Amino acid sequence: MKCLLLAAAIAASGAPGAVRGETPDFYAHWGDGKAEVSSYRIVQSRYGDQREGYGVLVFVTEDINRKTFIKVESPTPAEDRIYTLKLNSVLKFTTGIYDYSVMTSVFSAVDGSGGDGAFELKKVTMSSQEWCGHVFEEVKVVGRELRGDLNSYFEREGKRDYVLDLPDSDFESEDNLLIRIRELRGPFMEPGERRQISLMPALWQLRTGHQERNLVSATLIKGSGSESGEGVDGEGGESLPAIRWEWKVEGGREKSVWVEEAYPHRILAWQDSDGNSGHLMKTLRIPYWQLHGLADEKYREELLIP
């Protein structure tokens, strides 16, 4: 698939870019009590048409309970906590008369805990709402199993649980890959490396494709970045050096994601073989959970979202 990058309006934000080859301290950057909030101009394919909308990616650290995988909000011993990087991926678009509102939440263990290294998946949830009804799905990693729970308005999906065995190595969640490929604690793969993986497709991808919950074979590829001329056009016409990541899934689906070379390696753009795409508009580092007053609506204007 030949992927065409459209211009993205990129806002300078976050910590200064690191010297090539160096990785800034994760805790110094991400332990500041703020979240990284980025807005995107998106195109979403639905019902045979390309729909324009917007997306928001929120990256923030928080503790979850080691047993329940629920956010810790009460006095809890350190040994019962898992320090995670959470990604909330928000998608908003309109289909004819009605709207879609989708959010996927990923909880990724910063230090790992099961042998898969930094940013090991712990839990992913997805909720989708539109005028017909809504769907909620949750998947937890328990031991060497993926335990899923699907609740749907639609009869053909209904309410059901499922369990998938994890392979001994090279398992990846497509939702968690958006954290992994940012390489926030050092390289995840080497430039130019290709890796065969067992992939849990993104929950939203499974939802729209009405697919069975199974692991699929895929090839994950890391590009060479600016050494191969990769870049994304930014605001003012400047080109931001970027690393292109690709995954090619059995059955023919492909996705490309461009990640900024400079730390903190923001997600700059994505495009897939289904015609879906996203391009960064603006990034802010803010304590968004505190910004719920009427006066705080100004941040939506800064993020260029309705």
pLDDT surpasses 60 at 22: no
Residue 83 C-alpha from the chain's centroid:
18
Q: Locate 112 and state its tokens.
A: 């790992």
Contact 284, 13 (CB under 8 A): yes
Average pLDDT over residues 162-182: 96
pLDDT value of position 24: 76
Q: How far is the C-alpha of 108 from the C-alpha of 188, rounded, in Å?
A: 14
Contact 154, 236 (CB under 8 A): no
Average pLDDT over residues 55-82: 96
pLDDT surpasses 90 at 21: no
pLDDT value of position 7: 33
pLDDT value of position 114: 52
Average pLDDT over residues 241-268: 96
Radius of gyration of the chain from Cα atoms?
19
> Is 8 domain-assigned?
no
Select from 29, 58, 41 the least CA-distant residue to 291.
58
If phi over 0 gives left and psi between -120 and 50 gives alpha, with beta otherwise, what is residue 174?
A: alpha
Q: Is 107 exposed, middle or buried (0-12, 13-18, 19+ CB in 10 A)?
A: buried
Average pLDDT over residues 138-156: 95
Of the candidate ranges 2-11, 68-77, 235-244, the one whose mean pLDDT is the lowest: 2-11
pLDDT value of position 210: 85
Question: Considering all CA atoms of the chain, what is the largest pairwise distance in Å, rounded to the nearest integer?
Answer: 54
pLDDT surpasses 90 at 156: no
Select from 166, 163, 193, 169 the least CA-distant residue to 181.
193
Q: Locate 230 and state its tokens.
A: 């990769």
Q: What is the pTM of this model?
A: 0.90
> Is 58 domain-assigned?
yes
Average pLDDT over residues 41-58: 96
pLDDT surpasses 50 at 236: no
pLDDT surpasses 90 at 227: no
pLDDT value of position 234: 57
Cis (ω within 30 of 0) for the bond into 264? yes
pLDDT surpasses 60 at 1: no
Q: How far is the C-alpha of 67 from the C-alpha of 65, rounded, in Å?
A: 6
Q: Is 77 exposed, middle or buried (0-12, 13-18, 19+ CB in 10 A)?
A: exposed
> Is 5 domain-assigned?
no
Q: Locate 247 and state its tokens.
A: 């995954």
pLDDT value of position 13: 33
pLDDT band at 35 (very low <50, low <70, confident <90, very high): very high
Of the candidate ranges 4-13, 54-63, 196-205, the one whose mean pLDDT is the lowest: 4-13
> Is 197 domain-assigned?
yes
> Is 256 domain-assigned?
yes
> Is 2 domain-assigned?
no
Give helix then strand counts, H and E, for the chain: 4, 16
pLDDT band at 233 (very low <50, low <70, confident <90, very high): low
Q: Phi, psi (5° rounding) for residue 258?
A: -100, 125
- pLDDT, tens only, 124-133: 999 999 999 9
pLDDT surpasses 90 at 185: yes
pLDDT value of position 106: 98
- Domain containing residue 256: 26-302
pLDDT value of position 18: 38
Stated as kind and residue range, the H or E segment containing 81 is strand 81-95
Contact 38, 280 (CB under 8 A): yes
Total number of residues shown for the chain: 306
Average pLDDT over residues 3-22: 36
If phi over 0 gives left and psi between -120 and 50 gives alpha, with beta otherwise, what is residue 204?
A: alpha
> Is 280 domain-assigned?
yes
- Count of domains observed in the chain: 1
pLDDT band at 283 (very low <50, low <70, confident <90, very high): very high
Bridge partners of 15, per DSSP, are none
> Is 109 domain-assigned?
yes
